[in-house]
Each structure stands twice: as structure tokens, then as C-alpha cells.
Chains A and B, each alone.
Chain A
Amino acid sequence: MLLPKFDFHEPKTLNEACQILAAYGVKAKLIAGGTDLMVNMKKKILSPEQVISISRIGELKKLDTSGDSIRIGSCFTVADLSTSDAIQKHLSALGEGAKNLGTPLIRNLATIGGNLGSARPAADLPPALMAYGAQVVLNSLSGERTLSLDKFFLGPGFTAAKPDEILSEIQIPSLPPHSGAGYINIGIRKGQDCNLVNVASFIALDTDGTIRNARIVMGCVGPIPLRASSAEKMLIGQKPESALFARAGAAASLDSTPIDDFRGTAAYKRDMVGVLTRRTLDIAFREATHRQ
């Protein structure tokens, strides 16, 4: 299976990468792990004239948990996310997403930035990251801007990143005490499969034990990962308990907009949104009661 012809660039710094991307714009595609772009190029879905590898840029591979927010470089691999103690401790739902992405062979190549930039509706990392309130840092020659992940996805394969912008970093605000998150994905098989439904839930508790903040994100049931806003509203200000989580699950089902396809019917996916919402809220609550 032949790849289309292209010129290859391998900048050593982010600034150099921005310069090359600015020169070629829409004629260029960025490659990091390559697990998405290589397949699309082989299928001739994409035929960029220029391919710019950002996988040798050291500054894009860091994981920094020292400041007010956790900062993950866009070229940090999914395998490293899935085994990192820091991710497990601070962002367990993201770690769970990483463990369930693709296969070990894919995880060793795939990057967190690629999983966001490819903007697949069934991707494993966006729900947890959105539930944690993450934002992305976009760099270009004209500077740097940050954007909430809620505003980043525009449709399948489309993001708010401009043709000259490089996703350099993902920032997640440090978790408040008594907060937690959960992520569950289901598919036909455990490995090497596209998700049927995936849900991440985040809750933060007040000192009196009521829910101060809640974010529920549903994948595979819309063109982009969706927030279950009516379920979130239902939770805030309430005492966490299983009956409430079941009602929130039912509300999330109604917030979702799944379609029938060869993986499953819309009705089944809608039901599963309810189940996964309830279960991820259980996980989030358990974690929240332990986080100081």
C-alpha cells in the first residue's frame, strides 16, 4: 500500500516547526505518532504535499505536575500516560482512557496531542480531559493562545486549530480536594476496537458533602464529545447517592444524540450512556471521598 509522495520536515524546536507550518499552511500535515495520519494517507483520504514531524521536539514530550495546573506536552505518548504514576494519582480517568486506547503497539506510538487533533468522535482521551476541564495550548508564529477543550472540537476530524497552529500542550487545572473522576468505554472487543460508547464523569464535593461541580462527557453519541448538561445541572447542589446517579444517567441518555450504525443501534448506545454515566459517577464519587 503506497503512501502519496510528500516532502518531509523534521524540526528540532517548536518555533522552527511553526515557521515551516506557516510557510505551507493547508498543504502541510503534522505527524507525531502517525497512527492516524499514516492510515489516512495510505487510504488516500489525505495527500499532504508536506509532512512535518514534531516527534523530535523535546519540549513537546514533558509532563509537569509541579505548578497550579498539570501540563502534558502534545507528543507525550499514550503508553507513557497509561503507565505514569503521576497520571494515575492525579488524573486516573485519563489514565484509564489511555489504557483502553488501541493496542500496546499503537499506544507506544500514539500521542495525546494526536488523539485530540484527529478529532474522532469515539476517541478515548477527549471525554476524560474535557471532564477535568482541560484546555489546549495552540502555537503559531504570531504567538500562543489557550482554548478550552469544550471549544476545540468542531466536528469529526475538524478542530478550532488554524492551519498554521500547532497543539503544543494540554493543561489540566489541579484537582480541588474531594473531587474525582471516572471513565468507562465499551466496544465489541476489549482491544483493537473503536468504542461503541465512552463516558467520563467528574465531580467535586463541598465540605458539607454536596456536589459543588459536575462535568459529564459522552463520546460516540454525537459528531464531537458532548457534555451532558441536563445531567450535570441535576447533580449540582445535591447529596451524592446512587438514586441520584441513576437519574443523572437517565438525563444523560436524553442529552446524547447517537445514530444507528454497524457497531450498534442508537437505542442501545443511548441506554449505555445511562449505564456508563451512573457507573462513572460511582467511580468519581469513590475517588472524591478519598482525595484530600
Chain B
Amino acid sequence: MKKLINLTINDQHYEVAVEPNQTLVDLLRYQLGLTGTKKGCEMGDCGSCTVILDGKAVNSCLVLALQADGRSIQTIEGLETGEGLHPVQEAFVEKGAIQCGFCSSGMILSAKNLLDQKSNPSEIEIRRALAGNLCRCTGYQKIIEAVKSVPQAN
């Protein structure tokens, strides 16, 4: 039986009815049309479904939609503002860190989550923070360079 949940996605409030066995990634993609969040392995291995849930990057394929009730979610669609792309997105474009693009939304959100918690991370810290996001074009080097190049507040 469907249950009604309330959640905030990219600062916008939603009230939606979801099945108990519906995952957060399916809610985002199929019910709300937010297809920037990708579905890859669906097993928590590849990271293409990464979203930021209450300030923490998680695999949305491993979260039940019902578990997101009352919580705040940021997806790739929420990064761009009226002023243009987010600095991390800008850096990915600038450094050629996007090949096929399938891993990009997850990579960018994991990178943003790292930079939100720590300014000027070391290369090791960047590599560790992106360890849950797989790029099958194996374009990791450009991705690391992009994250390193993001202008920092201080």
C-alpha cells in the first residue's frame, strides 16, 4: 500500500505517495522525472545514483523512498543556479573530466560533498572521497585534476 511522504529535493518541497518497496533513485527518476541521477549497478557498487541526503553523499539505490520521509536531498539538478553551473561542474567541463557522462552526476556530487566538508583537500583525500564512484571510461585522472582545480573560498 502506498504511503504519503514529505521531502525536500533541491530546496523544493514535495509530497508524494510511494510504495514500501520503492527505492529513492526510482522515486527521483520515474516519479519526479529527475533523471540526472543515474541507475548503474543498483547494488551500491558504482555510485552513479549518488545523491546528497541530509548533507551526506549516499547511494540512492540503497535507500528506500520511505526512509527519505522528512529529509532533505540534493541531486545534480540542484547544483546549477541562475548564475550558471556550480564551480565543480564548471571544473569538470574545463578539465575534460566528462567522457560518456554516465558517472558525472555521481562524481560531481561526491566531489561537492567533500569540498563542503573540507576546503583544499589533498589528492589522496580527493581519491578517497571518490572511491565509491566508478568511471568505466576510466577517465579518473581528469576527474581528480578537475576537483583539485575547483576555486576555494579561502
Contacts of A59 in B (CB 8 A): none
Contact B20 A106 (CB under 8 A): no
Contact B62 A103 (CB under 8 A): no
B57, CB-defined interface residue at 8 Å: yes
A24, CB-defined interface residue at 8 Å: no
B132, CB-defined interface residue at 8 Å: yes
Q: Counting chain B CB atoms within 10 Å of each CB, which of A4, A35, A51, A103 scores highest?
A: A103
Contacts of B64 in A (CB 8 A): 8, 31, 34, 38, 51, 53
A7, CB-defined interface residue at 8 Å: yes
Chain A interface mostly = loop
Contact A6 B21 (CB under 8 A): yes
Cα–Cα distance between A7 and B62 once the two chains are bound (Å) = 17
Cα–Cα distance between A28 and B139 once the two chains are bound (Å) = 43
| Chain B, residue nearest A108 (CB) | B56
B74, CB-defined interface residue at 8 Å: no
Interface residue tally for chain A (C-beta within 8 Å) = 30
Cα–Cα distance between A3 and B21 once the two chains are bound (Å) = 6
Cα–Cα distance between A108 and B129 once the two chains are bound (Å) = 12
Cα–Cα distance between A1 and B46 once the two chains are bound (Å) = 15
Given contacts A105-B57, A192-B131, contact A7 B20 (CB under 8 A): yes
Cα–Cα distance between A35 and B61 once the two chains are bound (Å) = 9
| Chain B, residue nearest A10 (CB) | B66
Contact B21 A103 (CB under 8 A): no
Contact B63 A34 (CB under 8 A): yes
Given contacts A34-B67, A106-B44, A192-B131, contact A4 B21 (CB under 8 A): yes
Contacts of A4 in B (CB 8 A): 21
A55, CB-defined interface residue at 8 Å: yes
Contact A5 B57 (CB under 8 A): no
**The 10 residue pairs across chains A and B that have the minimum distance between CB atoms:** A103-B132, A191-B131, A8-B20, A105-B132, A3-B21, A108-B56, A1-B42, A38-B62, A105-B59, A103-B131
24 pairs, CB–CB < 8 Å, chain A vs chain B: A3-B22, A3-B23, A5-B21, A10-B67, A31-B64, A33-B62, A34-B63, A34-B64, A35-B44, A38-B23, A38-B61, A38-B62, A38-B63, A53-B66, A103-B131, A103-B132, A104-B110, A105-B110, A105-B132, A108-B57, A109-B58, A190-B131, A191-B131, A192-B131
